[in-house]
Structure 1
Amino acid sequence: MMNTLEFSPPMINGVSASKVFLAKITTAPSSVFEYLCQEFHHISSNEWQQRFEDGLIYDALGNRLTIQSAYIAESHVFYYRFLAHEIHVPFEHHILFENEHLLVVDKPHFLTMSPTGQYVQETLLVRLKKQTNNEFLTPIHRLDRETAGVVLFSKKVESRGIYQQMFAERNVQKTYHAIAPYKKELNFPFNIQLRMEKGEPFYIMKIVDGTPNSETEIQLLEHNNTWAKYLLNPKTGKQHQLRVHLNSLDIAIKNDPFYPILKHKDDADFSQPLQLLAKEISFTDPLLFTQMQFKSQFELTL
């Protein structure tokens, strides 16, 4: 009989299995199906039933479960996440570089990094897993759905932590381009330092008083008296940092749906991409000890 360490759920259509632990609780559900419906109540019982019927729920030994399968405390269950309907994102990524440890990708606008909310198949990670057949692919850092440009993925579990630590220790130089209004009274280059905290709603950021926890160097590249192209070098990595920093100067990034005013756009509206691009990334490879530099093939124009 195989043990729990031997079973590795297969990747299905680019989607890796998620694992959930069945805890020992006072009033245990009668079945795994009942537990999943209670634990993940944002997913309908009909959807869970369909996943069982499609053979997408496994126990720790690799046996497919049914809606009648008993809840066995202190064991693991694996399940797959698929959505009946997803909005197709009509833009393609490009692989810029690949070696034994890394996959460097040029992400288009509107493509979410990893499965979340209403996107699974229409995410960069799942597209790449399907393309490479590598279920161990993991983003080392992230870009917003609205942002395009260079992003790194780890190909191997063994070396993933080393590259993640490189980002955690800020040993990576990132350069962004942005299109935003031109204001002749602003003198560049400009170093901006602000304290940023979670705002309301939770997915936006706000500026508060206190010791700065975010820093960006901003340069003016070109302008046409109305719009300007800026080069941004973030020294820290706060959520929405570049968007908040430019907005604080009253030059919000063109087509920003969050700043200065939150605008809820239709998810199928691809007509106005945020004019923010992760243009370049460079670092000394912590395993190969060579200088790495990658540039996006995308361009922002005035």
Structure 2
Amino acid sequence: MASPLPVRDGVGATRLHVPLTGEWPTVSAYMVARFFHLDAERLLVRFDRGEIVARDGSPLRRDTPLGAEEFVWYYREPPVERDIPFEVQLRHQDRDLVVVDKPHFLPTTPGGKFLQNSALVRLRNLLGIPELTPIHRLDRATAGLLMFSARPDTRGAYQLMFENRKVQKVYEAVSDRPSNWSPEVFPLVYRNHIVKHRGEVRVQVDDSREPNAETLIEVLSSDEHVVHTLLRPHSGKMHQLRVHLASLGLGIRNDGFYPTLLPEEPDDFSRPLQLLARELHFTDPLSGEARMFVSGLRLQDAPSGA
């Protein structure tokens, strides 16, 4: 459903579904109840200013009755953001695709306390392409290659590649070397069943079910302190690589989720998660040509010479 409001400062308008019936006499009353944590009068003033609009772009009033509109659009009020002092690095741009190196700590898309500090908004503002849309995602803690669609007309073809697992992804990770380190077992393919329960920040492993996550793990190098691995995921489950390495006693350095969930703390920019999306390989769905992109980033804790 197309938004009646244009992209503003790199950020698209938010769409809200409004019930057609209910206990609220007006759309504004529903929104005051829905966003109970916000100041009610401040929200109502936004109706007075014409900032909340219907599908045709016409502004809604405070007294617009419930049921008049099923969807409304508005711009989120920008949060007070802590600046993330790392830049997105452009690696490729053509008519259809933009490929970048996303730094650690920067989310792929706006959300929560991050708006301008997201790869999508930064790139829209930098490149002047309001239609720019990510084709896949990287966790905020993960750095590396991220691909965006520059044109709606060809976006579906590239999204379908990822949905059908036609893109080969290669990652690197650095882990603390365990005391019982046995390099002879590598390379190996690790499989398990990963489940994400609603409301939980971590995924769970269910050993009673057939595997749904698979990763080929190879050792690139090691020293007396760390192990540097190359990871080729066959599936794309949430936190898959972090879970698989932690299950092998090779939890990724600076991971606050696996194997142990640590208390949430402010970002320490000197200690990024040592996980990097290093390569993307695929056959271009438009030209049929083989394409490969390689990250220009390096994990800071990788052994010297790696």
Relative to the length of structure 1, the TM-score reads 0.90
Choose the corresponding residue for 1:96, options 91, 94, 114: 91
Aligned partner letter, 2:43: W
Report 1:163-242 matches (<5 A): 163-183=158-178, 184-186=181-183, 187-198=185-196, 202-209=200-207, 210-242=209-241
User: Which digits, 9 at most, give the CA deviation of each residue in 1:177-219, with x for residues without a partner?
Assistant: 1000234324211110111112586121121122100000011
Residues 21 and 66 in structure 2, CA contact (< 8 A), matched pair in contact too: no
User: Which digits, 9 at most, give the CA deviation of each residue in 1:100-126, with x for residues without a partner?
Assistant: 211111100000111111111111111
- Shift of residue 129, structure 1, vs aligned partner: 1.6
Look up the match of 1:16.
12
Aligned partner letter, 2:203: M
Aligned partners of 2:76, 2:238: CA distance in 1, in Å? Answer: 26
Cα RMSD (Å) of the superposition? Answer: 2.3
Residues 51 and 57 in structure 1, CA contact (< 8 A), matched pair in contact too: yes
Aligned partners of 2:282, 2:132: CA distance in 1, in Å? Answer: 20
- Shift of residue 78, structure 1, vs aligned partner: 1.1
Choose the corresponding residue for 1:87, options 58, 66, 82: 82
Cα distance 1:286–1:42, how it changes in 2: closer, same or farther (>3 A)? Answer: farther
Look up the match of 1:118.
113
Residues 87 and 268 in structure 1, CA contact (< 8 A), matched pair in contact too: no
Aligned partners of 1:46, 1:282: CA distance in 2, in Å? Answer: 52
Aligned partners of 1:249, 1:75: CA distance in 2, in Å? Answer: 50
Look up the match of 1:108.
103
User: Which digits, 9 at most, give the CA deviation of each residue in 1:251-292, with x for residues without a partner?
Assistant: 100000101111133334323100000011110010111111
Look up the match of 2:290.
291
Out of 85-94 and 127-136, give the one that drifted further.
127-136
Look up the match of 1:142.
137
Aligned partners of 1:19, 1:234: CA distance in 2, in Å? Answer: 34
Aligned partners of 2:131, 2:38: CA distance in 1, in Å? Answer: 26
- Shift of residue 60, structure 1, vs aligned partner: 2.7
Cα distance 1:148–1:49, how it changes in 2: closer, same or farther (>3 A)? Answer: farther
Aligned partners of 1:290, 1:131: CA distance in 2, in Å? Answer: 28
Residues 93 and 108 in structure 1, CA contact (< 8 A), matched pair in contact too: yes
Look up the match of 1:61.
56
Look up the match of 1:280.
279
Equivalent residue pairs, number: 297
Aligned partner letter, 1:206: Q
Aligned partners of 2:47, 2:10: CA distance in 1, in Å? Answer: 19
Aligned partners of 1:118, 1:264: CA distance in 2, in Å? Answer: 18
Aligned partners of 2:263, 2:50: CA distance in 1, in Å? Answer: 37
Q: List gaps (5 residues or longer) in structure 2.
A: none
Cα distance 1:44–1:121, how it changes in 2: closer, same or farther (>3 A)? Answer: farther
Aligned partners of 1:23, 1:267: CA distance in 2, in Å? Answer: 38
SS of the counterpart of 2:56?
coil
SS of the counterpart of 1:163?
helix
- Shift of residue 13, structure 1, vs aligned partner: 1.0
SS of the counterpart of 1:211?
coil
Aligned partner letter, 1:197: V
Aligned partners of 2:161, 2:170: CA distance in 1, in Å? Answer: 16
Cα distance 1:293–1:42, how it changes in 2: closer, same or farther (>3 A)? Answer: farther
Cα distance 1:54–1:110, how it changes in 2: closer, same or farther (>3 A)? Answer: farther
Cα distance 1:28–1:50, how it changes in 2: closer, same or farther (>3 A)? Answer: closer
Cα distance 1:69–1:165, how it changes in 2: closer, same or farther (>3 A)? Answer: same
Cα distance 1:146–1:108, how it changes in 2: closer, same or farther (>3 A)? Answer: same
Aligned partners of 2:154, 2:205: CA distance in 1, in Å? Answer: 36
SS of the counterpart of 1:89?
coil
**Is 2:123 the partner of 1:128?**
yes
Look up the match of 2:154.
159
Aligned partner letter, 2:290: Q
User: Which digits, 9 at most, give the CA deviation of each residue in 1:214-260, with x for residues without a partner?
Assistant: 00001111111220111000000000000000000011000001011
Aligned partners of 2:89, 2:161: CA distance in 1, in Å? Answer: 24
